[in-house]
Amino acid sequence: MKKLLFVLLAAGVLTAMGLLPFRAVDASKLLPVKTVIVTKAGEEYVVDIGSGVRAVGDTLRQALDRLREEVSGQVFLPTAEQVIITEPAEGAVEAVAEETEFRPAAGIYLTPEPAPDAEALGAYLDAHPSDVTILDVRAALALGQRPAIPVIHAADGGFRVDG
């Protein structure tokens, strides 16, 4: 009984001091993300999550941090089902694979098209999920291999996935 009382007292003190890793989040302020489009323009990364919400940074991490700062509410990236990288993607594939905020099971795609609309593309990709995930890309890169990532093309007013 004394141990239980001690644990509860310690948890109360740590909570009051803000030292526990748990944070209360107002669910109404969460902005779940379904599709993330990553573009590397020169030396900058542009992250687009749809509805005109985008942020720019020198690194992918910096762009994601700015996205959080500029959006009212809390951007929730672990819900992203697909990450699309616009080409040329020099270094962007590696940056996306290393980013721990993306769900490892999220599908990953490349597209040579200018950044398409994330919402329209997300709806299409729900019906055509990728066989290649971020985890697959991480594993291939760890083995020193270049992963084969499906490519999205604009076709007849819609999209087509090759690979």
Q: Where are the domains of the chain?
A: 26-162
Give percent above pLDDT 70 in the chain: 82
Sign of CA dihedral 56, 127, 101, 17: positive
- Angle ∠(6,8,10) on CA atoms, nearest 5: 65
3-state SS, residue 38: strand
Task: Record the pTM.
Answer: 0.77
The model's pLDDT over 153-163, given as tens digits with 9 standing for 90+, comes to 887 777 888 86
Report d(CA 49, CA 67) in Å as an integer: 9
pLDDT at 9 over 60: yes
